[in-house]
Structure 1
Amino acid sequence: MLKSALEHAVREEEIPRNAARNVHTGTPRPRRFEPVTADEAGQFLAATRGHRSHALFELALHTGLRKGELLGLRWEDLDLDAGTAVIRRTLQRRRAHHAAHQDAGLRAPHRPSHPLRPLAEAPPRAAAAWQRSGHVFTTVQGGAIEPTNLTRAFTRLLRKAGLRRIRFHDLRHSTATLLPEQGVELVVIKELLGHAHIGVTATVYAHVRLRLQRDAIDTLSTALGSPAITTGNGDNDEPLACAIVR
């Protein structure tokens, strides 16, 4: 990142040379993802039912939106009749006790009609202390939700659901993992998640699941007229794979 920034400064003639150009960087270690399965996602949503942020979590799993994009959603970004949302900004924590909006670039309209239905049916706010911030997801007083507070609530709800601890961002990875299982093409996932290049989608989410790979092998085995491969044919027999190799 530093090398890229300095290279840009060289092109703009702000500095004479890029001091980081000859620095050797090692191969980056692949990031670990902890996506939830479809059953775990359903278990989590069942645990959040009745929570004031239930629609937020449901929208996160249906669309793969980032935490800041969800918290930055405003009512003018939604078309409840059409069931669509346009991503224009993100809410990020700049420093302690301060959150600020940042332009996210216009993203194509999402169509999360089912998660938006509870928002359309939500009763009007009548509290005297209610502040009209324009945000879709707010605190009890109507202000913007602090990202760290949402993370704490998310962790508590994971414990309530009896699930392992994951990051909020893993909900986005879960969406990208579950979509291929439903037969959605990579290019559609790229547009939904807002990646600039399809290579990012292919690299980050290439680990769809070992189960999908096994299913693919079993499907091919069925097509070729042979039974699905098993791990062995008895306690004292050699593994089937060894016999095939010889």
Structure 2
Amino acid sequence: MTVLEAEIGNVDGVRIFLGRYDSGRWYARAYLPHARGEGASRRVRHALGFGMTSHEAARLALEWAETQRAAWGVAGSSRTADMLAAYIDHLGGVAGREPATTSTYRSLLRCHIAPAIGAIEVGDVRPHMVQRMYSKMASSGALAPSSIKLVHELLSGAWKWFRELGAVDLDIMSDVATPRSRKAVTGYFPAHEVKAIREAIAPILADDSAGRNVNARSFAMAVLISLGTGLREGEICGLMRRDVRDGRLSVQRKLTESAGRPEYGIPKDSSVRNLTLPPELDEALRAHFAWQDTWMRRTGPSTPVMCSRCGQPIRPSAVSRWFTQLVRSLGISHGTFHTLRHTHATGLVAGKGNLAEVARRLGHASVNTTIGNYVHASPRDDVELALLSGEVAKGGE
């Protein structure tokens, strides 16, 4: 039971009330009329304590309300789920984060973070609550270690932002241990599997009909482009005819899918680049354009290299699904379309390609990424180093 609440002030349109339980404990209550995702008013209660006069309690209540001003201003609510949603909106707007990244963050928030700590007021979240959430995620198998680490990155960035806004006093994430994640082993298709894949797409590329084969031929062409250039699926789907010229390929954009809708954007890590095409691939692209001219009503510089019967660009997800079905039908139980990129890169590194040039060709922001993913020591390398060491020990004789 409580005594009658009394309105004691207004903070940026939020009405603040003071009340007291029968036990003598005072509390503050804020009426939030525009809570994120809710049509009705929501009442946030905050305990103040015992043994004080009504004037002292009112002062503490208004001080608490002032600390919540920033949270109510950006999210219409100080609940953790609402504040995190506002932070993700900030990342996708002012911060310019990739649509795919913000989409992943929203999914993690909706499915995993909100059920655990979303209803707690952001100022009441403590490190042990977050640590317990990570432990439950790991023990239940609900998320892979890499995904739990992604949750940690989201929360760490969010709490720094909350503190900058003045929505919280402390960055609690500085006291939360970073989850461990196992480094994924970069897979690739060995030579015999590449041969099987190429043999499977050869008849598709040789079929010049313009019937139901349109999508399949574009899919097969995407496989050939990835094997020959190492482009990501989004970069391949973003190619236009004007990007292919005089044996060169210009990577200017990528096609992404935001909320199910295709959108053009800048390649990952702003890796706009120009590549020399292998002669076989250059010839295959010319044949591909000639085939498109036989059935498309109108073609030009802006015609997508990967397009459907209606001339629209093919989505990366469609390419990935088709390829996965293809390799499984060949009895290859591992790998996705992105594995083609790893196969291309692994081949270049194994062929002793210049690492700086390999990194540039792949669009890596740093050569360290190339080294970390594709440079692996082998017994043969060790033998060669042993012989070289012997020569060095002799003074190079």
Which TM-score band (shorter chain)? Answer: 0.7 to 0.9
In 2, are the aligned partners of 1:65 and 1:172 still within 8 Å (CA)?
yes
The higher-RCO structure (CA 8 Å, 6+ apart) is 1
Q: 1:169 matched to which residue of 2?
A: 338
RMSD of equivalent CA atoms: 2.9
- Structure 2 CA distance for partners of 1:8 and 1:72, relative to 1, 3 Å: farther
- Looking at structure 2, the residues matched to 45 and 60 of structure 1 have their Cα atoms a distance apart, in angstroms, of 12
- Structure 2 CA distance for partners of 1:131 and 1:111, relative to 1, 3 Å: closer
- Alignment gaps of 5+ in structure 2: 1-152, 205-216, 391-397
Q: 1:240 matched to which residue of 2?
A: none
Q: Aligned pair 1:125/2:293, yes or no?
A: yes
- Looking at structure 2, the residues matched to 224 and 200 of structure 1 have their Cα atoms a distance apart, in angstroms, of 28
Q: 2:378 matched to which residue of 1?
A: 213
Q: Aligned pair 1:54/2:220, yes or no?
A: yes
Q: 2:348 matched to which residue of 1?
A: 179
Structure 1 residues 195-206: aligned runs within 5 Å = 195-206=364-375
Partner amino acid, structure 2, of 1:217: D
- Looking at structure 2, the residues matched to 8 and 191 of structure 1 have their Cα atoms a distance apart, in angstroms, of 33
Q: 2:262 matched to which residue of 1?
A: 99
Partner amino acid, structure 2, of 1:188: E
TM-score, normalized by length of structure 2? Answer: 0.48
Q: 2:252 matched to which residue of 1?
A: 88
In 1, are the aligned partners of 2:252 and 2:272 still within 8 Å (CA)?
yes
- Alignment gaps of 5+ in structure 1: 226-246
Matched residue of 1:125: which SS? helix
134, 138, 144: which one pairs with 2:303?
Answer: 134
Q: 2:318 matched to which residue of 1?
A: 149
In 2, are the aligned partners of 1:55 and 1:116 still within 8 Å (CA)?
no
Partner amino acid, structure 1, of 2:235: E
Larger Rg: 2
154, 177, 198: which one pairs with 1:2?
Answer: 154
Partner amino acid, structure 2, of 1:181: A
Bigger helix share: 2
- Looking at structure 2, the residues matched to 183 and 215 of structure 1 have their Cα atoms a distance apart, in angstroms, of 13
Matched residue of 1:50: which SS? helix
In 2, are the aligned partners of 1:131 and 1:143 still within 8 Å (CA)?
no
Q: 1:190 matched to which residue of 2?
A: 359
**How many corresponding residue pairs?**
217
Any idea what the Cα deviations from partners look like across 1:37-89, whole Å, max 9, x if unmatched? 1332222112111321333211101211111001011112221x2x1111111
In 2, are the aligned partners of 1:129 and 1:141 still within 8 Å (CA)?
no
- Structure 2 CA distance for partners of 1:15 and 1:121, relative to 1, 3 Å: farther
Partner amino acid, structure 1, of 2:248: T
Matched residue of 1:86: which SS? strand
- Looking at structure 2, the residues matched to 63 and 87 of structure 1 have their Cα atoms a distance apart, in angstroms, of 11
- Looking at structure 2, the residues matched to 14 and 88 of structure 1 have their Cα atoms a distance apart, in angstroms, of 36
Matched residue of 1:93: which SS? strand
- Looking at structure 2, the residues matched to 59 and 213 of structure 1 have their Cα atoms a distance apart, in angstroms, of 29
In 1, are the aligned partners of 2:233 and 2:338 still within 8 Å (CA)?
yes
- Structure 2 CA distance for partners of 1:220 and 1:5, relative to 1, 3 Å: closer
